[in-house]
Amino acid sequence: MQIKVIPCLNDNYSYLIFEKETNTVSIIDPAEYIPCEQELAKYGKLDFILNTHHHFDHVDGNLKLKKKFDAKILGFHLDKKRIPGIDILLEDNQETSIGNLKFKVIFIPGHTSGHVAFYFKKENVVFTGDTLFSLGCGRVFEGTHKDMFSSLNKLKRLPLETKIYCGHEYTKKNLDFCLKYDPSNLDLQKKAKSVISNNAKKSPNIPTVLEEELKTNIFLRCCDFKVKEALNLQHSPEEEIFTKLRDLKDAF
Q: Which residues are catalytic?
A: 53, 55, 57-58, 111, 130, 168
Nearest to 53 by CA among 7, 101, 6, 113: 113
Nearest to 218 by CA among 197, 250, 246, 194: 246
Tell me how crowded residue 15 is: count the other CB atoms within 10 A of its CB: 24
Residues paired with 90 in a beta bridge: 76
